[in-house]
Amino acid sequence: MNDTKYEKIRTVTVNERGQIVIPEDVRKDLHLKKASTMVLIKKGEELVLRKEADILEDLEDTFWKGVAQHSLENAWSKEDEIWDKIYQEQK
């Protein structure tokens, strides 16, 4: 196991159709209601169950961080070219 701090641990049973029931107290804690959309992620030998909205938010953050990094790299690259040009002109 990793260093995650566990707040609650519950045992659930997989039925013949592969379904599980999320215990009521956990559903309440996470504000899960009927028809809430969840995302199941297989990570090694673990299953991670997350709210779809949280996954979408993470993806959006990752996307914008990537865009910002790409923009910054382009800006630095152009700035280096400008400084190189100025340096060459002063020789």
Computed on alpha carbons and rounded to an integer, the radius of gyration of the chain in Å comes to 24
pLDDT of residue 91: 66
Domain ranges, ordered by start, for the chain: 24-90
Can you give the pTM of this predicted structure?
Answer: 0.58
State percent of the chain over pLDDT 90. Answer: 40
- One-character DSSP codes across the chain: --SPPPS--------TTS-----HHHHHHTT--TT--EEEEEETTEEEEEEHHHHHHHHHHHHHHHHHHHHHHHHHHHHHHHHHHHHHHH-
Comparing 40 with 87, the larger pLDDT belongs to 40
- pLDDT tens digit string along 40-52? 989 899 999 999 8
